[in-house]
Amino acid sequence: MAYIIGIVLVIIALIIVGLILRKRIYDVVDQQESWKMDIMNRNIASQISRIKNLNLSGETQEKFESWKEHWEYIVTKQLPNIEEHLFDAEEAADRYRFALAKKTLRKVETTLQQIEKDIEKMLEELEELISSEEKSRKEIAEIEPEVKGLRKKLSQTRYLYGKAEARFDVELDELEEDLDKYHDLTNSGNYLEAQQLVEGIKVQIEQLQVEMDEFPELYKACKDVLPSQLDDLISGIKDMKEDGYRIEHLGLEKEIRDYQQRLFDCVIAVEKGEVTVVKDTITEVDERIKDMYQLLENEAIAKSYIETKIPAYRQKLNALDLTFHNTKAEVESLRQAYYFENSDMEKYLTLEKTIANLKKQLDELTSEENDQAISHLQIREKLDDSLEQLESLTLQHEEFIKFINNLRKDELEAKEKLQEMKDKVYNTIRKLKKSNIPGVPSFIWSLLETTSQKNEQVLNALEAKPLDMTVVQHALVEADKSVEHVIEQTDFILEQAYLTEQVIQYANRYRSRYPLLAAKLAEAERLFRSYEYELSLEHAAKAIEEIEPGALKRIEERQQVLVK
């Protein structure tokens, strides 16, 4: 029983599946049927009929017939066949032959897709044909006046074009022939070919307009402007030679003749329409003319420059030579009294040698100024170098003169410094003598003796022949240190002695009451009379501090106030 139920269920399931698959086939059939009906209902024929507004001949007639036939083939052949295939697919589905039905539907879909592509292609070609006709018609309406305008321009300004007028006439004739050909093509229905022709005409007329606009200027530059400038250059070169300017070495005449020939060739080339090479030549010649004028101007400036500067150079050099002659005599005199370092003598000898070289250069410049084979520009370069050397030499000479003057100045300053140090020593001794101290410590006398010896060394250095200021300066430094040291020590001793007296006098008030203090003060007084002022102060200060702490500080402060 269970087997029977199972079989029944399987059969039912198969029936349901079959119904579902058949329903799907029907849906696809309905979809493709709608697609087919949509194609049939499209107004393709009326779209194709738009072409009838054009001239139905030639290429247009061929395309119209082709599109019409193809559309009729679709409507009368392909779409009815599709209808039959759809019927076959339904019939196969009714018989549960789903594989055959699907295959048939795939074939129908492929056919419908191809029909869509064919229709799209026809409409694109149709639009292209119609738009090309409209576009070319508008463009021709703009081009024809332009051609007439160029013809009129050429007719009214023939004198600007020379022999090239004939070439431009021919090109305009060719353009007019192309315009006639365009009308022939459109009258024959060959609109696409006519559109291609229009594109070519546009390029030609644009090029012709550019050529006609550029030609007068290029032609004038090659025929008149640049040749005239070259003629002026030739004339200017001739005048400059007659005026003594040295420009032969530039070789400009031959170069100018070459350019004149090239410009003559350019006239022929531009008349033939060889514009690129002509433009390059014009640019080259124009720039070279400017360069030539600059070269000539440089030579003219150089001539004027050397005519002005050489006399000035000679005058400055002679003045420097005269000044150096005085310096030389002074150096010979000073060498008897002063010692010169090797480096200083090298500077002096270099000055003498450089002046001699500059004199030689001046003779060469004077000779070259009279030599027609050497350009003024070359002479100027050498002159500038000589002037620069002269300027540098003048500064060096001034520095050397300062050095000589400083020798005497340093000697005088050294003598003044020596006298100043002697005065300081004298004043120090005088200060010691005027003081009320019992005597002067021996080390002070030793310092004074050393200082006197140092001053004597300075004096000996100053009196040496030749005078070596390096030795003098060294002796001065040593002597000055010694003087300052003895002054410092002297002031210190005097301050110590005075302070010791103040402390002992202050401590005397306690002397009778403090026997021990009295003994210490007696020792301090003994040391004071023995010129041991520092030890004496130490004993006295220690004694009073034991009796009255802080007394020494108060005494020192009072002494500082009195000193101030």
Chosen domain end from 139, 172, 190:
139
Distance from C-alpha of 56 to C-alpha of 58, rounded to nearest angstrom: 7
pLDDT of residue 340: 65
How do residues 491-538 score in pLDDT, each as one tens digit? 888 888 888 788 888 778 878 788 887 888 788 888 888 878 788 888
CA atoms within 13 A on the CB side of 441: 19
pLDDT at 476 over 60: yes
Range of the domain at 338: 299-413
pLDDT of residue 16: 59
402 lies in the same domain as 310: yes
Distance from C-alpha of 354 to C-alpha of 360, rounded to nearest angstrom: 10
Position 365 in a domain:
yes
165 lies in the same domain as 198: yes
pTM of the full structure: 0.46
How do residues 216-255 score in pLDDT, each as one tens digit? 787 787 888 888 888 888 888 888 787 777 777 777 788 8
Q: What is the separation of C-alpha 237 from the centre of its chain, rounded to a whole number of angstroms?
A: 39
> Is residue 154 within 8 Å of 168, Cβ to Cβ?
yes
Distance from C-alpha of 442 to C-alpha of 431, rounded to nearest angstrom: 16
Position 29 in a domain:
yes
CB atoms < 10 A from the CB of 306, how many? 21
310 lies in the same domain as 397: yes
pLDDT of residue 234: 84
540, burial (CB in 10 Å: exposed 0-12, middle 13-18, buried 19+): buried
391 lies in the same domain as 439: no
225 lies in the same domain as 350: no
Position 31 in a domain:
yes
pLDDT of residue 54: 55
Distances 118 to 31, 65, 157, 236, 432 between C-alpha atoms, Å? 20, 15, 57, 80, 138
Position 419 in a domain:
no
Looking up tokens 């003498």 gives 352
437-442 average pLDDT score = 83
Position 291 in a domain:
no
pLDDT at 83 over 60: yes
Position 103 in a domain:
yes
Looking up tokens 């100043």 gives 420
Mean pLDDT lowest among 115-119, 320-324, 337-341: 337-341
Position 228 in a domain:
yes
- The total number of structural domains that make up the chain: 4
349 lies in the same domain as 408: yes
68 lies in the same domain as 95: yes
pLDDT of residue 14: 54
Query: Quick one: CA dihedral 270, 275, 277, 280, positive or negative?
Result: positive
134 lies in the same domain as 195: no
156 lies in the same domain as 135: no
Position 428 in a domain:
no
Distance from C-alpha of 194 to C-alpha of 178, rounded to nearest angstrom: 10
pLDDT at 307 over 50: yes
273 lies in the same domain as 309: no
Distance from C-alpha of 429 to C-alpha of 418, rounded to nearest angstrom: 17
213 lies in the same domain as 261: yes
Tokens linked to 503: 């402390």
Give the residue ranges of DSSP H helices in 338-375: 342-369
pLDDT of residue 457: 83
> Is residue 136 within 8 Å of 195, Cβ to Cβ?
yes
124 lies in the same domain as 208: no
- pLDDT confidence of 56, banded at 50, 70, 90? very low
Chosen domain end from 107, 139, 171:
139
Question: Comparing 135 with 220, which gets the higher pLDDT?
Answer: 220
Tokens linked to 232: 């002026």
